[in-house]
Amino acid sequence: MRDSNRAEAERVLARAVEDEVQRSGGRAEAGPLLARGRAALDAMAANAAEEYAAYVRALEEAEAAPPSLGERAGTAALVTAAGAVAALGADLALGTSLGTALGAGAAVAVAGAAAAGATAVHRPAAHRGDGAAEQLRLAWLTALEVRGIRPFLEQQRVSAEAVKATPPRPERSAEARRRGVLAQSFGQLPEPTGPFVGRQAELARITEWVSEADGSRPTVVVLHGAPGSGRTTLAVRAAHRLKDRFRGACVVDLRGTGNQDPPLSTRDALLHLLNRLGAPRERLLFRERTSQEQQVRRIGELYHQHLTGLPVTVVLDDASDAEQVRALIPERSDSLVLVTAPEPLNLPADLPARVHRLPVEPLDAAGAAELLPSAGEAAERIRELCGGLPLALRIAGPMLDRRPADALVRMLERYGVTSGPVDGALWLSYGELDERQRRLLRRLALAGRASLGPSAAAALLESGEQEAQRQLAELARAGLVDHVRGTRYRLHEAVRSFVAVRLLDEEEPPEIAAAQERLIRDYAELADSVIRMVDGKPSTRAGQFGAHGFVSLDAALTWLDDESSFITATLRHAEGVNQQTVLKLLDALCDHCLLRGDLYRLGELTELTQAVDHGLLVRSVQLRTGIAARRLGELDKARTTLSSVVSLYQEADHDAGAALALCSLGITLHHQGNLTEAAAKLREAIALQSAEELAGDRAWSLHALAGVERDRADLAEALTLLDTALALHRASESVHGEAWAHLQLGRVRLRTGEVPLAEAELRTALDQYGRTHDERGAAWALTQLARARLVAGDPGPAVDRLREALSRHREAEDARGEAWTRYHLGQALEERGDLEQAVRELERARAMFSRMRDVYGLACARHHCGRVTRDLRAARTGNLRNSGFARQLLVDARADFRRIGVAHGEAWTCLELAVIDAGNGRPAQASELCAEAAALFASYGDRRGADWARFLRCTLLPPPAAQQELAQLLRDAHPARDPGLEDSAEALLLSRTPGWHAWPSAVIPPRRARDVMGVPVDPGPSGD
């Protein structure tokens, strides 16, 4: 478009936008709407291309002999009137009220008059045409407004209403995760078991304060008392008792007074709370590298925003810093914050919370007597010697089973004078243990403040798990370890400090180092065994397994769920341990994080390895971080991360690692729609995995490549790759790999139209995802099973199943899965006849693909959004006029498909464009598009699609020629032909509608025609 003509077109657009703003009553914003219109102006102008071309030709012819001013003005007035009448007719056809239509017609008349005046007065002589040129110019401007600008503005209005009607979908994913995590959070609290005496008054006081809360600000209770006074137990009991009043709960150990570990930073405390209380996972995975102060400010704002209006219970255990506590109080919700500290904290006076301080005093005589049932009259003296502290009394009580009460009093008097009440009781109890129990208790100090189970105890004690479990139970009965839940125990910090000294005094450094390494080695083997049961024998774990001892995969995964926190804590103290052993444990834990979607822990491991700065460990964790980023829909970030990991492995001459990273990079490129480069990366990975010991890795690369070849329409190659991948997954005992291979097989069989075979493959995949606890994979299987119903022509059940799959993708926070499921839901709604809702779903899918930079997904969404928008408008008007916006979507989709080399998508888009052109009286352009589509279908051997291209071209021919071509088409029968084509051909032959009658006769290619590719494949079933 010439610059002078563009300026005229923009003036028409500006006036139309002004009218739209007035029509909306000010709800539409002129600035953004005008900016979007200017960006789409070329697309709108394409709908008036014929008028513009005629105008330019006439202008060029007339430039040598400009007419008089009177001629131009007279012609302009005539065309202005014609334009006004055309605008009035178009509006009435669109269903606009008569008054509005008359107003719009008048606006066109004014616009034409203004344009005529501008032409007569302001246009340079060199650009003035004769009367015919001026008539064509105004005809072009009228066509631009009626067929381009108005449909664009209407589509903007529909999109705005759709967005207003439904909240943004990415937030639904975050909300789903928040609900799920909060529902499970009370199960993460220590179980309320064991003796709890003498604290009923304090518990009642806390309950009273919560009941008095006004609902506008949090309630903060500072529980202060000496170590061993039972502050934490009281806080946990209160959290359990009041759980019906709150939606979630979390305990965070601030380590404010411990001697063994540094205090927990405010940043890490915020991240822990966000994770336990269901914050968006991408915020937990990608840790900023700015200053600590900036990070605390950013994460703190996210924390307060996340908990706004969400009442939860937060236990801040072992606090010592009042400013840190303030940062962790959710000020915008009616929450309960229980703070345990040795002294009353002086919290800021301006804190927007109801603050109460509750001293946790020594137990009185009645409370102590409950812990000392056999002490008799000596109970009061024992209470005094134990300082009334529940911890010391709990340790002293079991010793009464082995000696008279007065003997215990004398021993406590001797030890307690110099050591204090808790250490005095600990010395006595420690001395009464046998050597194995003392060794285990000492070495439990190596476990840090995390809870541990019999697996860790067995490694520390060099015994079997049953023996270790028995010893832990004995230590718990002696009051020396705290029961957390199930078979998990934890040392009280006072006990840990005591036994840590005993460990250094009574064992040699080599013994301590050997115990630490044995702990990590045993856990590495067990964790590897669990992941092996899921993923088989990839190169990272090949040949490294003995008997794992798990009775089932479910039991194995549950064990690793329970142990993941302990393993992370153990890795923080792995100095001096063999790095290959550490790497093995790290690999297994990272894979578990990916399987479970535990991106918070993956973020922790990233920071841990970066702090250690050991190249192999960093590469291993970064590889998993890239994969996690891809699953979150952060495709650019995933591509950058994985590209750097490939380079790191290549620099280290580590072919197996480089191949794994290349495979993940290839999958990411596939998700971005870069199919050619994706195939190249995956084939490069497969070449590096040719050795027999890398067969398990090669299976994953093969089934990933099959997905790329499916989208490139090479279904025969995809089936061959998947048959090989499935055999390799079975040989490596990878249940998880088999599940993904079966999913891919099902998707290929949908492309061949073999719905029963596809459903069998997809149900197998769903079963195997269930066995491996892969919620993300299960959601994908549900999406494809629903799609199978759609391919089978059964849209009703497809809609219901797709909505179920959509909620599963949200719960798994799989952005890409949600986008594709929404895309298929739009198709199913279209098939069911609900075009308006279909447009909304497809628009949402289009927005998600655009945000993820998934070009293939974006092209597919544009294609179907364009066709449904076209059909929706045509259903209102009874014709295909004013399909400008739909046409532009299809033009953009075609450009995307061509750019990424997807001939199948481009060919079908050409046919949809041909329908629009044919319906707008442009048969030559439509016929050319049909020819281009036929060539594209032929380029990859799709005879089914080529049939439809030939058929649609027949509809554009004069009746005798059309009948001859149709007869030839029907004679050229083949097995891949769409059964619906012959029905359409018969309907076309019987049609008596004048003009181009494929559209009113409903014989254009249906949406379902695109689902199946008519390419040659091996007819035999794959897989089982």
What pairing do the DSSP bridges indicate for beta strands 219-224 and 313-317?
Answer: unpaired
Distance between first and last Cα of the chain: 60
Q: What is the mean pLDDT of residues 620-636?
A: 83
Task: Report whether 4 contacts 119 (CB < 8 A).
Answer: no
CA 382 → CA 394, 534, 724, distances in Å? 11, 55, 74
Least confident segment among 80-94, 149-163, 521-535, 931-945: 80-94
Q: What is the mean pLDDT of residues 853-865?
A: 94
**Rounded distance, CA 981 to CA 919, Å?**
20
pLDDT tens, 276-329? 888 876 666 555 556 777 878 888 888 999 899 999 999 999 999 999 999 999
pLDDT tens, 133-192? 778 888 888 888 887 888 788 777 766 655 444 433 334 556 666 777 888 888 888 888
CA-CA-CA-CA dihedral for 628, 631, 635, 639, to nearest 10: 40
pTM over 0.75: no
| Close Cβ partners of 961 (under 8 Å, ≥ 6 residues apart) | none
Q: Which residue has the higher pLDDT, 54 or 93?
A: 54
* H or E element that contains 769: helix 755-771
CA 732 → CA 700, 726, 729, 769, distances in Å? 11, 10, 5, 17
What pairing do the DSSP bridges indicate for beta strands 488-490 and 482-485?
Answer: antiparallel
| Close Cβ partners of 197 (under 8 Å, ≥ 6 residues apart) | 363, 367, 370, 371, 390
At residue 517 the predicted structure's pLDDT band, cuts being 50, 70 and 90, is confident
User: Which spans in 186-316 are helix H?
Assistant: 200-212, 231-241, 266-276, 281-285, 292-306
With vertex at residue 715, the alpha carbon angle to CA 711 and CA 721, rounded to the nearest 5 degrees, is 100
**Rounded distance, CA 527 to CA 523, Å?**
6
Sign of CA dihedral 530, 581, 459, 485: negative
Q: What is the mean pLDDT of residues 869-875?
A: 88
At residue 550 the predicted structure's pLDDT band, cuts being 50, 70 and 90, is low
The 8-class DSSP code of residue 291 comes to -
Q: What is the mean pLDDT of residues 473-497?
A: 91
| Close Cβ partners of 995 (under 8 Å, ≥ 6 residues apart) | none
**Rounded distance, CA 968 to CA 281, Å?**
59
Specify whether the backbone of 198 is left (phi greater than 0), alpha (psi in -120 to 50) or beta: left
Asked if pLDDT for residue 545 goes beyond 60, the answer is: no
The 8-class DSSP code of residue 152 comes to H
Strand order in the sheet with 313-317: 249-253, 313-317, 336-341, 219-224, 354-359
pLDDT at 507: 94
Among the listed residues 190, 194, 204, 259, the one whose alpha carbon sits nearest the alpha carbon of residue 390: 194
Asked if pLDDT for residue 96 goes beyond 50, the answer is: no
Structure tokens at 888: 């532009």
Task: Report whether 656 contacts 697 (CB < 8 A).
Answer: yes
Task: Report whether 345 contacts 222 (CB < 8 A).
Answer: yes
DSSP per-residue letters across 340-384: EESS-----TT-SSEEEEEE-PPP-HHHHHHH-TT-GGGHHHHHH
pLDDT tens, 916-967? 999 888 999 999 999 999 999 999 999 999 999 999 998 888 888 888 888 8
The 8-class DSSP code of residue 304 comes to H
Helix (H, G, I), strand (E, B) or coil at 778: helix
User: Which spans in 24-97 are helix H?
Assistant: 30-39, 41-45, 49-62, 69-93
Structure tokens at 6: 């563009």
Among the listed residues 670, 526, 655, 681, the one whose alpha carbon sits nearest the alpha carbon of residue 588: 526
Asked if pLDDT for residue 95 goes beyond 50, the answer is: no
